[in-house]
């Protein structure tokens, strides 16, 4: 599938998910190219239909895009609940175990998701897999001592690669941390891996989102379909 076809599926999933947003809701807004289509559609509804809702964003990028449409954005600590969070994903299996963080926003994404009443993912059909792990697993790491964390990951056979930007500098998250991508090929025991990663000193969060999501809207050439 070429990028234009994939983008069309992402856009269809984003537009479908925007229908879940109603007046007065508090909505978590994820990060990534699929979420950009969602926010475009929500922005259109705000401007053309007078939709009013409050957003909590999972990255500065999404915040800027949403505020550009006049969507009210507040800090996650300024709301007592989030009705629904709509986010993208890098991979998801039929048990709703998934990988996130391709866009380096995994920490805020997990914080917002954890505080949401309902979580919806929007993906194109290429993201639905039998076994997760072909997509490199992002891990957010504190810069201080990151070299030692990477060595530990190497010793455990996790094939870590520090994520670099176009200038060859380490990518920094919105919290100014590094991202280390683990090239695992497949993850047969995601819960054990999650436990190991989160117990490694220097790791802030990992991109395993295990059975957290309530619904996945899949952009499919035959039209968006829902996995529940
Ligand atoms: C960002 C994420 C994204 O949701 C994930 O990478 C999917 O991105 P895209 O919609 O661009 O394929 O987890 O940290």
**For ligand 1, is residue 90 a contact (CB within 6 Å)?**
yes
Which of 30, 84, 25 has its CA nearest to residue 57? 30
Task: Report CA(183)–ligand 1 centroid distance (Å).
Answer: 17
ipTM surpassing 0.90: yes
The ligand 1 atom nearest the CA atom of 32: 11
Whether 31 is in the pocket of ligand 1, judged by its Cβ within 6 Å, is yes
Burial environment of residue 3 by CB neighbours within 10 A (0 to 12, 13 to 18, 19 or more): exposed
Q: What is the pLDDT along the chain (228 residues), one digit of tens a residue?
A: 899 999 999 999 999 999 999 999 999 999 999 999 999 999 999 999 999 999 999 999 999 999 999 999 999 999 999 999 999 999 999 999 999 999 999 999 999 999 999 999 999 999 999 999 999 999 999 999 999 999 999 999 999 999 999 999 999 999 999 999 999 999 999 999 999 999 999 999 999 999 999 999 999 999 999 998
Closest ligand 1 atom to Cα of 100: 13
What is the model's pTM?
0.97
3 state SS of 203: strand
User: Catalytic site residues?
Assistant: 109
């Amino acid at each position: 599938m070429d990028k234009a076809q994939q983008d069309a599926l992402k856009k269809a999933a984003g537009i479908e998910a925007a229908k879940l947003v109603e007046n007065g809701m508090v909505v978590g807004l994820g990060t990534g190219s699929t979420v950009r289509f969602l926010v475009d559609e929500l922005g259109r509804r705000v401007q053309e239909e007078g939709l009013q809702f409050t957003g909590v964003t999972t990255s500065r990028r999404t915040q800027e895009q949403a505020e550009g449409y006049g969507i009210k954005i507040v800090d996650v600590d300024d709301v007592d609940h989030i009705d629904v969070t709509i986010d993208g994903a890098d991979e998801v299996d039929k048990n709703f175990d998934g990988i996130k963080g391709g866009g380096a926003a995994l920490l805020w994404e997990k914080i917002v998701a954890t505080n949401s009443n309902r979580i919806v993912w929007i993906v194109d059909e290429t993201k639905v897999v039998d076994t997760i792990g072909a997509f490199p697993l992002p891990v957010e790491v504190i810069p201080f001592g990151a070299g030692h964390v990477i060595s530990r990951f190497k010793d455990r056979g996790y094939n870590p690669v520090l994520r670099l930007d176009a200038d060859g500098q380490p990518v920094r998250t919105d919290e100014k941390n590094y991202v280390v991508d683990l090239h695992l090929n497949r993850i047969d025991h995601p819960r054990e891996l999650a436990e190991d990663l989160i117990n490694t000193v220097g790791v802030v969060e990992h991109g395993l989102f295990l059975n957290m999501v309530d619904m996945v809207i899949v952009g499919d050439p035959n039209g968006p379909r829902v996995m529940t």
